[in-house]
Amino acid sequence: MILERVLSYSKTLLQRGISEGDIVIDGTAGNGHDTLFLAKLVGKTGHVYAFDIQQSAIDSTKQKLVDFINQTSVILDGHEHIPKYVNQEISAAVFNLGYLPGANHSTITKPDTTVMAIEACLNLLKVGGIIVIVVYHGHEGGDIERDGLLQYVSELPQSSIQVLKYEFINQVNHAPFILALEKIKKL
Ligand code: SAM
């Protein structure tokens, strides 16, 4: 297939933006798949800060990171509090919005806190860095978060941030899409 699937393309973008030794953020650790992917990319000299508000997500993420303990911080707190934990320049951040697969669907990411977290990441992001957001919007409340987020990113200053939407537009059932924000100049 020439056109990459959404999840695969999110990883391609992260791979292109991350080098060994980088500091990066996983804003929605969930079951830790992305955190592990990031930990492998930054290597022993880099660091991944991963956030989630559910203890079960923190536990599953930590289980995946047994070989990467020194280069990861798995934090039980909302991503809206990123500035409390990270004050170094980051080269990338990833968010997978929605609910934790296999858990209660009532705990979901929310528009206001998601935007606060993305704003915090944009402030920490180096020029040439990237934020990748996979937007799941088929669940209850997902449409509100999607619309709030689209409004926010579409108003970012184009002289500093390039905003990409990567979406298959002829799929049914609310297929997820990517928003990718690349910093091209200081804000
Ligand atoms: N990337 C994850 C993986 O690899 O398994 C999946 C993430 S899942 C779609 C979304 C996660 O966001 C859930 O685990 C949920 O608990 C978490 N979440 C919801 N609100 C949050 C917040 N304010 N801060 C951090 N995580 C949050």
pLDDT at 168: 97
pLDDT at 103: 86
Instruction: Tell the residue nearest (CA) to atom 22 of ligand 1.
Output: 78
Residue 21 in 3-state DSSP?
Answer: coil
State the greatest distance between any 2 C-alpha atoms of the chain, in Å, as a whole number: 44
pLDDT at 71: 97
Residue 156 in 3-state DSSP?
Answer: coil
Mean pLDDT by runs of 10 across the 187 residues of the chain is 97 98 98 98 98 97 97 98 98 97 90 98 98 96 96 98 97 93 96
- Expressed in angstroms and rounded, the spacing between residue 159 Cα and the centre of ligand 1 is 30
pLDDT tens digits along 135-157: 999 999 999 999 999 999 999 99
Across-strand partners of 90? Answer: 125
pLDDT at 137: 95
Cα gap 43→174, rounded to integer Å: 35
pLDDT at 173: 82
CA nearest neighbour of 109 among 73, 140, 76, 132: 140
Instruction: Tell the residue nearest (CA) to atom 4 of ligand 1.
Output: 33
Instruction: Tell the residue nearest (CA) to atom 13 of ligand 1.
Output: 100
- Expressed in angstroms and rounded, the spacing between residue 45 Cα and the centre of ligand 1 is 26
pLDDT at 172: 80
Q: Is the dihedral of CA 73, 76, 82, 84 positive or negative?
A: negative
Overall pTM > 0.85: yes
